[in-house]
Amino acid sequence: MAAMSSSSIPGIFQPRQFKGHLLMDGGTIWGTNPFSAVEQCMELVEDPEDVIVDICICSGEISPDQTSAVSKNSLRNFMRGADIHKSYASGHSITQAMSTYPDVDWRYLFLQEHSVDDLDFRNSTTWPMQEEGRQ
């Protein structure tokens, strides 16, 4: 059940009902949620200056190329559109959280250096990612 829920992508693999809950991969819907992170930290400390936030964005490009040619593969086009939407939504939520919580220490924002094709699992594609992860 957990694996099926984690792989759910709205419009492709439907979320699963389990014990009265609708389960899905939260990253497909909510992406980066700095508000929740800060609010959970504020339950532990009183002063926002004691909260330090590091954000690592490692899915999709932060600024996808919107001018690249459209593929003839519908799923690939859907995923590309979702990546473009997610990059703008994530960036907006981060900047909005930074202005909402100006006293929080927004220390690091890590961005993925190389783009990854979500649907390409050939060794020639996955090996460079494995090498990058080993560094």
Residue 44 covered by a domain: no
Residue 76 covered by a domain: yes
Q: Find tokens 């060794």 and name the residue.
A: 123
Could you list the residue range(s) of the whole structural domain that residue 114 is in? Answer: 51-134
How far apart are alpha carbons 57 and 22 in whole angstroms? 26
Q: How far is CA 62 from CA 11, 66, 67, 109, 129, in A?
A: 23, 12, 15, 11, 17
Residue 39 covered by a domain: no
pLDDT at 97: 92
Which amino acid appears at position 119 of this protein? Answer: L
Q: Give the tens place of pLDDT for each residue, 12-35.
A: 666 667 777 656 555 554 567 888
Residue 38 covered by a domain: no
Residue 13 covered by a domain: no
Pick the residue with more confidence: 75 or 39? 39
Q: Give the tens place of pLDDT for each residue, 49-96.
A: 999 998 877 655 545 555 566 677 787 778 777 777 777 777 788 899
Total domain count for the chain? 1
How far apart are alpha carbons 122 and 125 in whole angstroms? 5
Residue 66 covered by a domain: yes
Residue 78 covered by a domain: yes
Max distance between CA atoms of the chain, in angstroms, equals: 53
Which amino acid appears at position 38 of this protein? Answer: V
